[in-house]
Structure 1
Amino acid sequence: MLQVRYAQARGRGNPMIEWLDSYHTFSFADYYDPHHMHFSHLRVINEDYIQPNNGFGTHPHADMEILTYVLNGRVAHKDSMGNATEIAAGEFQIMSAGTGIYHSEINPSHEDVLHLYQIWIIPNQKGVTPRYAQGKFPDEEGATLILSPEGEDGAFKIYQDMRLWRWQLSKDQSAVKNIELSESRRYWLQVVKGSLSVNGIALTTSDALGISNETALDIQVSEDTEFLLFDLV
Structure 2
Amino acid sequence: MLQKINRSVFMGNGPIKILYPGLVVSNSDTGIGSIGRIDHPEIHGRTTIPMHPHVNDEILSYFRTGIAKHKDSEGFVETIGKKKLMLMKAGKSFYHEEVIDGQSEPLEGLQIFIRPGRKDLKPEVVFLDLEELHSESKWRLLASPNSETIFQFSSETWLYDMKLLKDKSSTLPQLPKNNLTLLLYVFHGEVEINGNVGLEKKESLIIIDEAINITAVKDAELVLFVTDEKANVFKGGMYSGNQR
* Closer, same or farther: CA 25–158 of 1 in aligned 2, 3 Å: same
Q: Aligned residues: percent identity?
A: 27
C-alpha deviation, 1:222, in angstroms: 2.1
Unaligned stretches of 5+ residues in structure 2: 229-244
Query: Corresponding residue for 1:170?
Result: 165
CA distance in 2, matches of 1:109, 1:194: 22
Query: Among residues 88, 111, 121, which one is paired with 2:114 in the alignment?
Result: 121
Is 1:82 aligned with 2:78?
Answer: no
State whether structure 2 residue 208 is matched by structure 1 residue 212. Answer: yes
**Structural mapping, 1:191-210, within 5 Å:** 191-199=186-194, 200-210=196-206
CA 25–109 in structure 1, closer or farther in 2 if over 3 Å, else same: closer
The corresponding residue for 2:62 is: 69
Match in the other structure for 1:6: 6
SS in 1 for 2:15: strand
Q: What is the letter of the counterpart of residue 157 of structure 1?
A: Q
CA distance in 2 between partners of 1:131 and 1:194 (Å) = 34
**Counterpart-to-counterpart distance in 1, 2:107 and 2:51:** 18
Q: Which moved more, 1:92-101 or 1:102-111?
A: 102-111
> Which position in structure 2 is the counterpart of 1:30?
none
Residue 89 of structure 1, CA deviation: 2.4
- 1:213-232 map, 5 Å: 213-214=209-210, 216-232=211-227
Which range moves more in the overlay, 51-60 or 63-72? Answer: 51-60
**Residues 164, 68 of structure 1: alpha-carbon distance in 2 compared, 3 angstrom cutoff:** same
Q: TM-score, normalised by structure 2?
A: 0.81
* Letter of the structure 2 residue corresponding to residue 125 of structure 1: R
1:98 Cα offset (Å)? 0.8
Q: Deviations over 1:162-197 (max 9, x none)?
A: 11111222236xx22222666611100111112111
Partner AA of 1:231 in structure 2: V
Distance 1:230 1:133, change over 3 A: same
Change in CA separation of 1:63 and 1:10 when aligned onto 2, cut-off 3 Å: same
CA distance in 1, matches of 2:129, 2:197: 31
Q: How does 1:96-135 map to 2 (within 5 A)?
A: 96-135=89-128
**How far 1:111 sits from its partner (Å)?**
4.5
Q: Distance in 2 between matches of 1:171 and 1:190?
A: 17
Shift in Å, 1:109: 4.3
Deviates more, 1:110-119 or 1:196-205: 110-119
Q: Of residues 20, 28, 47 in structure 2, which corresponds to 1:26? A: 20
Q: Distance in 1 between matches of 2:34 and 2:50?
A: 26
How far does residue 35 in structure 1 lie from its aligned partner after superposition?
A: 7.7
> C-alpha distance in 1, partners of 2:10/2:153?
27
Q: How many residues align?
A: 218
Is there any run of 5+ residues in structure 1 with no aligned partner, and where? 28-32
Q: CA deviation at 1:159?
A: 0.5
Contact 1:25 1:36 in 2 (8 A): no
Structure 1 residues 25 and 223: CA distance shift in structure 2, 3 A: same
